[in-house]
Amino acid sequence: MQKRKIPMRKCIASNEMKPKKEMIRIVKNKEGEISIDPSGKMTGRGAYVSIDPAIVKIAWDKRILDRTFETALTDSFYQELLDYVSRQKARMNL
């Protein structure tokens, strides 16, 4: 039986290559709206962040997503991302 290739993505905050399943995709669509993409299939420009609250906190402190998408994101978006990642991390540990 053949081994399946595991898709790898690079975290924009830590610059680590990790399997796609261990990452969360943030997407900017044509209208300029930025949102969390749990399915990983929304259209638009995407960036990946590790499912680790500490790394999301680093991204928030350094405003990495602002620079990546060339726009100003609100603190509420970063808080929503941090909450989502915390929930996903807890689900992975079950």
pLDDT digits (tens, 9 = 90+) for 70-88: 999 999 999 999 999 999 9
Asked if residue 15 has pLDDT above 90, the reply is: yes
Which residue pairs from 62-68 have beta carbons closer than 8 angstroms and sit at least 24 positions apart in sequence?
62/13, 64/12, 64/13, 65/12, 65/26, 65/34, 68/12
Counted domains in the chain: 1
Query: Residue 68 falls within a domain, yes or no?
Result: yes
Q: Say if 53 falls within a structural domain.
A: yes
pLDDT value, residue 46 = 95
> How far, in Å, CA of 1 to CA of 23, rounded?
27
Does 40 reside within a domain? yes
Q: Which three-class secondary structure state does DSSP give residue 14? A: coil
* DSSP single-letter state for residue 9: E
- On whether residue 3 sits in a domain, the answer given is no
CATH of residue 42: 3.30.1230.10
**Residue-wise pLDDT tens digits, 33-67:** 999 999 999 999 999 999 999 999 999 999 999 99
Is there a domain that residue 80 lies in?
yes
Q: Is residue 1 part of a domain?
A: no
Q: Is residue 39 part of a domain?
A: yes
The boundaries of the domain holding residue 58 are 8-92
Tell me, yes or no, whether 2 lies in a domain.
no
pLDDT of residue 32: 92
